[in-house]
Structure 1
Amino acid sequence: MRSYCKLLLTLSLGLAAAAASAQNTPVGKWHTIDDETGEVKSLIAITEAGGVLAGRIEQLLRKGADPKASCLKCEDDRKGQPMVGLEIIRGAKQAKGETIWEGGEILDPEKGKTYKLKLTPIEGGAKLQVRGYLGPFYRTQVWNRVQ
């Protein structure tokens, strides 16, 4: 009986550690927050394939948002594409030995501009620091993980 309890405890601790480390990644669903009003703007799903991240708008949540809106200001292959389903994060990879993802780009669909990207999970993965760069200038947002 004693070895059975030890086995259960070991398995439980291992699963808890794996769950905690799985949360310390940008992969998952996130609420974006409006910088000016502080209200939730959208639901973003970030996925990983082959070590590369991609993020899409799953839902527009801002009051009065048109769910059929398109990215009219986009300047690349996303021009005219529906906002819902629009890929706004492309190409980010994890920095070696760190919990930072960079090297990709992020699109601001309201302005149609793309920026270099850096993603950093914070607060144990409950929040995601999203930083977009254009030359020496940058803007940082904090997104909240959706549980």
Structure 2
Amino acid sequence: MIKIYSLLAASVMICVSAFSQNADDVLGKWKTIDDETGKEKSIVELYKNKDGNLEGKVVTILNPDKQDAKCDKCEDHNKDKPILGMVIVKDMEWDEDEWDDGTILDPNKGSYYDCKMWIEDGEPDKLYVRGYVAFIFRTQYWYRIKD
């Protein structure tokens, strides 16, 4: 009887660990999709900064006509800076099963939004990216780039 309970407990532990998300699962390059047009926009590389918080930088702009695009609508230190190479995700903190409490910049609008990111169980190559202000939000889906 003890063997049966031990096997059952081990099986449950394996199943739970197989579906739990690790903070590092989001690291790497992701193709961004414009949620308004459905078109591929850019590739953003997500990485941890020196404090262990998640950041994301635009490493490729996919539209050949926008390679030299600048953040002309930004009103801060990013004003008129190239979007290529710009850090658009900042200060994300890991919170059990998602990255949260950071910000994301929409360089086309020059606006910052509170942000959270997560990967759903069974979809390791799809990142849910939610930008929000109070109760108003929009969610984009980013897709992992495999090297």
Query: Per the shorter chain, which TM-score range?
Result: 0.7 to 0.9
Instruction: Say whether the 8 Å CA contact 2:23–2:99 is kept in structure 1.
Output: no
Give the one of 95, 99, 102 matched to 2:100: 102
- Structure 1 partner of 2:136: 137
Cα gap change, 1:136/1:23 in structure 2, threshold over 3 Å: closer, same or farther? closer
Amino acid aligned to 1:29: K
Query: Is 1:24–1:121's contact at 8 Å kept on the other side of the alignment?
Result: no
Extract unaligned runs of 5+ from structure 2. Answer: 1-16
Asked if structure 2 preserves the Cα contact closer than 8 Å seen for 1:25 and 1:99, the reply is no
1:1-147 maps to which residues of 2 (within 5 A)?
25-49=25-49, 50-62=51-63, 64-95=64-95, 98-122=96-120, 123-147=122-146
Tell me the C-alpha RMSD between the 2 structures.
2.2
Counterpart amino acid of residue 120 in structure 1: W
Aligned counterparts of 1:54 and 1:23: Cα–Cα separation in 2: 13
The amino acid across from 2:54 in the alignment is L
- 1:55 maps to a residue whose letter is G
Please give the TM-score of this superposition, normalised by the length of structure 1.
0.78
Give the AA of the match of 2:62.
L
Q: Normalising by structure 2, report the TM-score.
A: 0.78
Query: How many residues are matched?
Result: 127
Structure 2 Cα separation of the partners of residues 23 and 91 of structure 1: 14
Displacement of 1:139 in angstroms is 0.5
The sequence identity of aligned pairs, in percent, is 38
What SS is found at the alignment partner of 1:110? Answer: coil
- Partners of 1:73 and 1:22 lie apart in 2 by 35
Separation in 2, partners of 1:44, 1:110: 15
